[in-house]
Amino acid sequence: MSARGTLEELLERHGTTYAGEAGIRLRDTPRPLYQLLVLSHLLSARIRAEIAVASARALFSHGLRTPRRMADATWQERVDALGEGGYRRFDERTSTQLGEEALLLLDAYGGDLRRLRREAQGDTDMLGAGLRRFPGIGPAGADIFLREVQSVWPETAPHLDAKALQGAERLGLPTEPDELLRLAKGEDPAVLAAALVRGALDSG
């Protein structure tokens, strides 16, 4: 199969962002950006992606959709919601981190990640460093956030990190971001990145 055919098949199978799978209607507004931060936090742990997505959905279904609501929830309420999603291995530590993360976002940015975006002034490295200030967001979590947010923060695109490029390599696709975008023919780079990551996980 040609590289274009392989990519078309991959996008047909996996052409949904992780944010979309978690029920986040991603826009450049405070609430969905915060929800993406929470999802990125959960996805960055050594746990199956489907459990992380289900746990994000559970948190949001319990009304923990904003940093204020997350900070105001009790530690046990957060643990219970994570457990409902199947996120049990790291639930206690993650509950603490989610509370601390929400408080830092409120204190440093008034609950609005767009302030971090403005602070970074289009510098993706600075944006990644800002994201890593949040408890529980390490390099992997920052990469996940940047992969997904490029749909609404175009200055971060194309963000095809090592995990996405690993997927491309395993599928016999080019590993140059510009070449992958050319093959994808105008596909949202966030969708392309998510599909490549799933490709890496499928073949891993």
Q: What is the pLDDT of residues 91-108, one digit of tens each?
A: 999 999 999 999 999 999
Q: Evaluate if residue 182 carries a pLDDT over 90.
A: yes
Say what the pLDDT of residue 186 is. 85
Q: What is the pLDDT of residues 1-55, one digit of tens each?
A: 799 999 999 999 999 999 999 999 999 999 999 999 999 999 999 899 999 999 9
Say what the pLDDT of residue 203 is. 57
Q: What average pLDDT score do residues 68-88 get?
A: 96
Least confident of 12-16, 61-65, 107-111: 12-16
**pTM for the whole structure:** 0.95
Residues 118-155 as b or e (16 or more Cβ within 10 Å = b):
eebeeebeebbebbeebbbbeebbbbbbbbbbbbbbee
Nearest to 102 by CA among 72, 74, 143, 130: 72
Q: What average pLDDT score do residues 102-129 get?
A: 97
